[in-house]
Amino acid sequence: MKQNETFPYGTLLVILLCAGMLLSLLHPSRTFSAAENRQLQQRVMPWEESVLDQDYQDAVSAFVSDQFPGREGWMQLRSDILAALQEKNVEDVYIANDDSLIQAFTPDMALAKKQVEAVNDFAARHEDMAVSLLLAPTRIAFAADTISRDPSQPLQRDVYDELCGMLDESVSNTDVWDTLQSHQDEYIYFYSDHHWTPLGAKYAAQTFLGETLDDYESVNAVSGFHGSLSRQIAWTHAQDDLQLQLPKEETPYTVEDPAEETTTTTLYDSDALSSADPYTVFFGGNAPLLRIDAALANGKRLLIVKDSYANAFIPYLIPCYEEIVIVDPRYYYDDLEALIESEEITETMFLFNMNTFTSDDSLQQMLGR
């Protein structure tokens, strides 16, 4: 090869990618990925829906990605390369010393303070209602010594203390920090996912309710799944089990999803257990609005404004409230005040993990701050 000639690596890469896409179309489709513990996107024929439709384009993109030849091998190779290079922070995900994954904490303090002010304003408008805030620490709060943490980012506990110090006296701070810290050696956070486990949520619920929840049994629903953080960075060296905490004696209840026009007698979606995200077993994932009506007549009606951490927390509250109305401000765009009036809400709880509360402004947008 002449000295002024260079090998066309870019052209070769394009050829390989095109070949992979062609093979994904010609090769028989796989239905399930054992590595990701989920169903894979199947081929969508162009006459089934318009090729200009965004859903169709997304389905084709997902199909090519899911059916790319040697997909799981490429994922494993990426994980091995990251491990060999001893990469410790990939796309705001820390790889801990034990190969588990921990979501980074990068708060927007200006936004977070506005969130607190919005909660204070809400409580001031509802002086006759009990209002509480639960800011759930994420795993980084208790595992900082297992990662090479970015020293430019604040400690989550320091941010938590600052935000809670801004709360008005009319807002009750449900502090679960010490409770979770006392159980940090137990399986209270997933190793490959950004959520707390049902056990971690149970300990938090005990603090909120002021009682010990003994009448529950642990049932292993899924083994060896790769959670949200694993999927985010294609890391296969960490996996989890989903161990549900089920009551020994269940209070009868119904769950209504107005958006889907469905009413069920369980909050658990069994189909989620074979999906890419088993955590969505709770309510089938996030929804704008849900109503839980229990077979009780105590007059207690709770509104929970929340993120996905609440999904594993809410089951423990069912025996205590006649009605629980669940609103996710990321998807709910109706009038919250009208909802409170129509549902005759007696108590409101705001429940968010520290990452969501300090980075997503949907709460203050909904509260009109």
pLDDT in tens, 330-343: 999 999 999 999 99
Instruction: Say which residue the tokens 């034990």 belong to.
Output: 98
Amino acid 72: pLDDT: 63
Does residue 63 have a pLDDT over 70? no
Q: Mean pLDDT of all residues in the chain?
A: 87
Comparing 50-54, 100-104, 279-283, 292-296, the range with the smallest average pLDDT is 50-54
Does residue 93 have a pLDDT over 70? yes
Amino acid 197: pLDDT: 98
Contact of 218 with 63, CB cutoff 8 Å: no
Contact of 341 with 232, CB cutoff 8 Å: no
d(CA 133, CA 136): 10
How much is the average pLDDT of 231-253?
A: 93
Amino acid 84: pLDDT: 73
Residue 61 φ/ψ, nearest 5 degrees? -60, -45
Amino acid 24: pLDDT: 47
How much is the average pLDDT of 39-49?
A: 56
pLDDT in tens, 268-301: 999 999 988 999 999 999 999 999 999 999 999 9
Strands 101-103 and 93-95: antiparallel
Q: In terms of Cα–Cα distance, which of 270, 144, 139 is closest to 197?
A: 139
pLDDT in tens, 163-204: 999 999 999 999 999 999 999 999 999 999 999 999 999 999
Amino acid 9: pLDDT: 47
Contact of 314 with 339, CB cutoff 8 Å: no
Give all strands (DSSP E) within 27-183, no chain letters: 32-33, 38-39, 89-90, 93-95, 101-103, 130-136, 171-173
Q: State the SS3 of 208-269.
A: HHCCCCCCEEEEEEEEEECCHHHHHHCCCCCCEEEEEEEECCCCCEEEEECCCCEEECCCEC
Does residue 39 have a pLDDT over 90? no
Amino acid 116: pLDDT: 98
